[in-house]
Amino acid sequence: MKRELPWHSRFDLLGVTFLLFLLGALGSLPAVEGSGRNLDYWGNISRFASQFFPPDWSILGRTLEGIIETVQIALVSTLLAIIISIVLSIGAARTIAPLWLLWPIRMFLNLIRTIPSLLWALLAVVIVGSNPLAGVIALTFYSVGYLAKFFSEAFEATNTDAQKALCSLGASPLQAFQYGLWPNARPIIWSHCLWMLEYNVRSASIIGYVGAGGIGLHLKLYAESADSWNKFSMVLLCILIIVTILDFTGENIRKSIRDKLEGNRN
Amino acid sequence: MTGPLIKAQGLGLKVEDRWLIKNLDLSLDRGSFLAVTGPSGSGKTTLLRTLAGEMEASLGSVKKQLDCHNRLAMIFQDLQLADGATALTNVLGGSLERHSFLSTFFGFPTHEQIEANVLLTQFGLAEKAHQWTSTLSRGERQRVAVCRTLLTRPLLLLADEPVSSLDPNLADKVLAKLKDYITSNDGSIVCALHNDDQVAKFADSVLHLDSTDPCGWKLEEIKKEEGT
């Protein structure tokens, strides 16, 4: 016999939040106003887009130099952020640190995360001038806010059985952490590091806009000069290629780590 | 040093208001192998953990005659290995108590690595030494846990079903090696087992636990035939 579910059974947490989201989005529509002028949108788009093609290959050398600087900024800032984040995340992990240390570090990380990467870049440019060092400083701070949070969550979620076993076999707490907890958390942490590196290459591509080094400066110059959209598209193409390569490599490494960790326990 | 390695008197074990064991008297001489048997839930693991000092006895006392803490080691039923570390690193974890944090920070001393490799070879895991334990089978992981515990060089070994995932032949070999390793150093083993053949082959005495009656435990000597 077919039994109908009561009408309100659909309104679980998921349903209610989705409904609220939908109402909020629809209610916000009046805030989206155009200029009021009668513009030829499609004409504008096609005229603008046509200026992107064909990309100007004559600037390839210069663009690659900018891309290399961007990747270098991303690599150095990610490395610095990893080192700082490992130390901070131990203090921010509920399963490891005492409460008096946990909350100040978490508040500090929240504060860092509140500031977007472009603002960090502006602050760094003001302090150290317009150069790649500003980019490294900006992205290091920005990344620490996220990586330390991810790492501490990884430590909290990691199985602590091996750590406890080593303690009971006579290891000191630090040794039990290094050989019991760290090996289990390491794959997840490395996966976060790769994600952050990908993210930083993207971020390093834009912070040059405010003078913090990398390919962003090229983007700014081409965007501001007339008739350089084909050069602009060349830069975008190079960024797209490098980001796609990183995306593909990162995903494959993450998958292989995942497979290895899940193993074949027959 | 002489006398029993471990002695329990009037031991009572209770988990969540349920008595598992009452009035247990136990004395384990050097060089002896005590098997603990009984159905699931009869208190084998609780007894081993209490003897190891990880749990408090509800009644009675446990006295150990060991010169220092590391002479007692346990093989855990759930193995408790680090999945993201190699089999060799997991085994070397058993040597940590002998070294300071700084001296093991960048790796283990060569002589410990040699000893760990010898153990892995003896237990048929030489070719798996550099594999992550997450990629090993349950039986292989069980042997890694055995090697790790043996590397602590225990005098009193508490083993919670150490061969439950091994085929009978391999289980016999592992138990024989365990017994040889511990008893040749004048140590003793308390081992939870499910297989009666293994109990008859390796144990000197057996403690049967009863899941329905906390006082229904039976401690028996196992008479060995000549030549066995």
pLDDT in tens, B50-90: 988 888 888 888 888 776 655 888 898 888 999 889 999 99
Q: What is the pTM of this model?
A: 0.76
Q: What is the pLDDT of residues B145-169, one digit of tens each?
A: 999 999 998 889 999 989 888 888 8
Interface probe for A, chosen from B45, B79, B83 (most Cβ of A below 10 Å), is B83
Is residue A105 domain-resident? yes
Eight-state DSSP code of residue A3: -
Please indicate, yes or no, if residue A11 is contained in any of the structural domains.
Answer: no
List chain A pLDDT tens, one digit each, 266 residues: 556 777 777 778 888 999 999 999 999 998 887 777 777 788 888 888 888 888 888 888 888 998 999 999 999 999 999 999 999 999 998 888 888 999 999 999 999 999 988 899 999 999 998 888 999 999 999 999 999 999 999 999 888 889 989 998 889 999 999 999 999 898 889 889 999 998 999 888 888 888 888 888 888 888 888 778 888 888 889 889 988 998 889 888 888 888 887 764 44
How far does B60 lie from chain A, in Å, by closest CA? 23
- Partnered with residue B219 across adjacent β-strands are B207
Instruction: Give ipTM to 2 decimals.
Output: 0.84
Per-residue model confidence (pLDDT) at position A37: 75
Q: Which CATH number fits domain B72-154: 3.30.70.270, 3.40.50.300, 3.90.25.10, 3.40.50.10800?
A: 3.40.50.300
Nearest beta carbon to residue A166 from set B83, B93, B135: B93
At B76, give phi and psi (nearest 5°): -85, 145
pLDDT at A3: 65
Whether residue A263 and residue B97 make contact (CB cut-off 8 A), yes or no, is: no
| Residue in B84, B105, B148 nearest the CB of A183 | B84
| CATH number, domain B1-66+157-162+190-221, options 3.90.25.10, 3.20.20.70, 3.10.450.50, 3.40.50.300 | 3.40.50.300
Closest residue on chain A to B106 (Cα):
A178
Query: Domains in chain A: how many in total?
Result: 1
> How far is A169 from B72, CA to CA, in rounded Å?
8
A264 exposure class (CB count in 10 Å sphere: 0-12, 13-18, 19+):
exposed
Structural domain span for residue A149: 61-262
On whether residue A34 sits in a domain, the answer given is: no
Axis crossing angle, helix A182-207 with helix A229-262, rounded to the nearest 10? 180
B-chain residues within 8 Å CB-CB of A266? 137-138
List, as ranges, residues 20-59 from B with C-beta within 8 Å of A: 52, 54
Is residue A206 included in any domain, yes or no? yes
Asked if residue A44 is part of any domain, the answer here is: no
- In this complex, the residue of B70, B96, B141 whose CB is nearest that of residue A179 is B96
Closest CA to B84 of B137, B138, B41, B132: B132
- Those residues of chain A whose CB sits closer than 8 Å to some CB in chain B are 159, 161-162, 164-166, 168-172, 174-176, 178-181, 183-187, 260-266
Measured between CB atoms, which of B78, B84, B104 is closest to A175? B104
Residue of B nearest to A181 (CA): B82
Could you say which of A165, A169, A265 has the minimum Cβ distance to residue B137? A265
Domain edges within chain B: 1-66+157-162+190-221, 72-154
Q: Do domains B1-66+157-162+190-221 and B72-154 have the same CATH topology?
A: yes
Q: Is residue A67 assigned to a domain?
A: yes
What the block records as the tokens of B149 is 């515990």
Query: In the block, which residue shows the tokens 């501001």?
Result: A224
Check B96 against A171: CB less than 8 A apart. yes
- List of chain A residues whose C-beta atoms are within 8 Å of the C-beta of residue B92: 179
Q: Which of B96, B98, B113, B167 to mutate to test the interface with A (most CBs of A within 10 A)?
A: B96
Task: Please give the interface size between A and B, counted as residue pairs whose CB atoms are below 8 Å apart.
Answer: 93
CATH code (residue A250): 1.10.3720.10
Q: Which of residues 129-168 of B touch A (CB under 8 A)?
A: 132, 134-138, 141, 148-149, 152
Q: State the Cα–Cα distance between residues A88 and A92, nearest whole angstrom.
A: 6
H or E element, residue B45 = helix B44-52
pLDDT at B225: 62
CB contact under 8 A, A159 and B69: no
Q: Which helix (H) or strand (E) holds B145?
A: helix B138-150
| Cβ-based contacts of B83 with chain A (< 8 Å) | 159, 162, 183-184, 261, 263
